């Protein structure tokens, strides 16, 4: 008996799935009105959104209509934070290409991922298009088509691997790192040294905060301006000091808190931050602004954080936006705008360099203490 051949399964949303999806805040009232008028149904602009959603969910919808709903629910402006790691040693272009080809073959063989490998100068880019599943969302928002780019920049002392700080990108990058290492060992027998930003080996709270203090003041070609937000974490000790009866209310309160967030102008100079700092809290996330030293350069807002605050691992950073300089008023605009791809790439390199120097300073300070 011949095996029955079937094609890919087709998902048909129910009326409730469509109703729930159209209730989302990303779906605007005007989009719903335009859709119904396009179907020849006259509706008033004053009709409530609930009534419009109920009408559309009762209609027979085509595949293109489902795609329309899907696009309404997408977030094209979402920008993932960036992270990086390094493989130090002698690595040839051919070895990078061979590793990328092996990863591409593996990803396309075991799943539905689409993988493309491109090379531009000393940079090789592995682009992976995949479907992300999130079953905590409503039916029509559970599957999202996403793309992640992993760039391998070849330098004098090895390869810098840049990637978005997403689960998929981390999984692919780990596979890619192992493939590059295996290829180099196969060709030369040499082991590569892996480097990433981590404070896991530094157990002193003050030295962990020192990393961020060095980072915000050491971005190349920038002058530090102001810190607007910090998140702090309490380093749990194996032996906790018992609180005395004479301890202040603030001390007792701090002993029960392991996370805190502070926001506002000059937050590092605030009394609240200094109190938490004295109680053994350290910074694990910070948002600050710095001024580009170029002529009439913008004021740029940065963010840096550790994804695992207790271990201070999974370091990531991003350019949140720019405040352009207004030569007419001789002041910076109050409205933040998004960075262009060129600006984002340029400033991320500055953040990468600053974070590596800040790590070296934090390690040096810790070594002096121990």
**pLDDT tens-digit readout, 162-190:** 999 888 999 999 999 999 999 999 999 88
pLDDT average, residue stretch 1-17: 61
Residue 134 vs residues 19, 107, 170, 195, 198: alpha-carbon distances, Å: 19, 20, 17, 31, 29
pLDDT at residue 284, as a whole number? 95
Among 52, 73, 94, residue at a domain's last position: 73
pLDDT at residue 155, as a whole number? 85
pLDDT(230) > 50: yes
For residue 271, what pLDDT band results from cuts at 50, 70 and 90? confident
pLDDT average, residue stretch 241-270: 65
In a domain, 3, yes or no: no
pLDDT at residue 6, as a whole number? 47
Beta bridge partners of 1: none
By mean pLDDT, which of 104-118, 287-301, 303-317 is the weakest? Answer: 104-118
**Cα–Cα distance between 54 and 56 in angstroms, integer?**
6
- Percent of the chain surpassing pLDDT 70: 89
pLDDT(3) > 60: no
* 156 and 272 co-located in one domain: no
What value does the mean pLDDT of the chain take? 86
pLDDT average, residue stretch 27-52: 91
By mean pLDDT, which of 61-65, 98-102, 355-359 is the weakest? Answer: 61-65
* 61 and 97 co-located in one domain: no
pLDDT at residue 243, as a whole number? 47
Among 196, 227, 251, residue at a domain's last position: 196
pLDDT at residue 348, as a whole number? 94
Please, is 21 exposed, middle or buried when counting C-beta atoms within 10 Å of its C-beta (0-12, 13-18, 19+)? Answer: buried
Structure tokens at 338: 């998004």
By mean pLDDT, which of 81-95, 117-131, 204-218, 268-282 is the weakest? Answer: 268-282
Here the CATH number for the domain that contains residue 149 is: 3.30.310
* 302 and 273 co-located in one domain: yes
* 163 and 257 co-located in one domain: no
DSSP designation for 5 = P
The closest of 343, 243, 257, 263 to 300, measured between CA atoms, is: 343
Residue 161's CB is within 10 A of a number of other CB atoms, namely 21
pLDDT at residue 184, as a whole number? 92
What own/partner pairs with CB < 8 Å and gap ≥ 24 does 62-67 have? 66/13, 66/140
pLDDT at residue 1, as a whole number? 45
pLDDT average, residue stretch 332-343: 92
- How is the chain split among helix, strand and coil, in percent rounded to 5? 40, 30, 35
pLDDT average, residue stretch 29-48: 91
pLDDT at residue 14, as a whole number? 80
pLDDT average, residue stretch 303-323: 94
pLDDT(219) > 90: yes
pLDDT average, residue stretch 213-220: 95
Domain hosting residue 281, numbered range: 205-369
* 319 and 217 co-located in one domain: yes
pLDDT at residue 312, as a whole number? 94
Task: Name every residue whose Cβ is closer than 8 Å to that of residue 171 and which is 6 or more positions away in sequence.
Answer: none
pLDDT at residue 250, as a whole number? 54
pLDDT(161) > 90: yes
In a domain, 7, yes or no: no
Beta bridge partners of 114: 129
In a domain, 8, yes or no: no
pLDDT average, residue stretch 86-93: 91
* 352 and 216 co-located in one domain: yes
In a domain, 23, yes or no: yes
Are 302 and 319 a contacting pair, CB within 8 Å? Answer: yes
pLDDT average, residue stretch 32-48: 91
By mean pLDDT, which of 99-108, 210-219, 296-305 is the weakest? Answer: 99-108
For residue 256, what pLDDT band results from cuts at 50, 70 and 90? low
For residue 238, what pLDDT band results from cuts at 50, 70 and 90? very low
SS3 311: coil
pLDDT(5) > 70: no
Among 163, 196, 229, residue at a domain's last position: 196
Structural domain count of the chain: 3
pLDDT(368) > 90: no
* 174 and 273 co-located in one domain: no
In a domain, 21, yes or no: yes
* 232 and 167 co-located in one domain: no
* 225 and 267 co-located in one domain: yes
């Amino acid at each position: 008996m011949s095996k029955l051949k079937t094609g890919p399964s087709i998902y048909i949303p129910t009326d409730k799935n469509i109703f729930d999806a159209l209730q989302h805040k990303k779906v605007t009232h005007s989009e719903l009105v335009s859709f119904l008028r396009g179907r020849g149904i006259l509706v008033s602009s004053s009709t409530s959104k609930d009534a419009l959603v109920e009408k559309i969910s009762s209609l027979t919808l085509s595949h293109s209509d489902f795609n329309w709903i899907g696009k309404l629910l997408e977030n094209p402006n979402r920008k993932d934070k960036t992270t990086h790691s390094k493989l130090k040693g002698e690595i040839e272009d051919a070895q990078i290409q061979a590793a990328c080809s092996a990863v591409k073959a593996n990803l396309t063989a075991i799943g539905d991922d689409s993988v493309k490998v491109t090379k531009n100068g000393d940079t090789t880019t592995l682009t992976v298009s995949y479907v992300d599943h999130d079953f905590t969302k409503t039916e029509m928002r559970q599957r999202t088509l996403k793309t992640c780019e992993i760039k391998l920049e070849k330098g004098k002392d090895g390869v810098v691997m840049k990637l978005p700080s997403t689960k998929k990108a981390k999984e692919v990058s780990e596979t890619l790192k192992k493939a590059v290492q295996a290829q180099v060992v196969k060709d030369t027998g040499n082991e590569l040294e892996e480097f990433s930003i981590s404070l896991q080996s530094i157990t002193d709270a003050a030295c962990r905060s020192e990393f961020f203090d060095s980072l915000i003041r050491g971005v190349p070609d920038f002058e530090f301006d102001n810190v607007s937000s910090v998140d702090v974490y309490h380093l749990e000790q194996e032996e906790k000091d018992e609180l005395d009866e004479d301890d202040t209310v603030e001390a007792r309160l701090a002993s029960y808190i392991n996370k805190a967030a502070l926001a506002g102008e000059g937050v590092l100079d605030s009394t609240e931050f200094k109190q938490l700092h004295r109680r053994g809290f350290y910074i694990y996330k910070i948002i600050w602004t710095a001024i580009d030293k170029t002529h009439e350069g913008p004021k740029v807002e940065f963010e840096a954080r550790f994804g695992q605050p207790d271990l201070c691992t999974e370091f990531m950073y991003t350019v949140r936006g720019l405040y352009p300089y207004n030569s007419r008023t001789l002041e910076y605009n109050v409205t933040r705008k998004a960075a262009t791809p060129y600006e984002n790439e340029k400033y991320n390199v500055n953040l990468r360099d600053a974070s590596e120097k800040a790590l070296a300073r934090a390690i040096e300070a810790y070594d002096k203490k121990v």
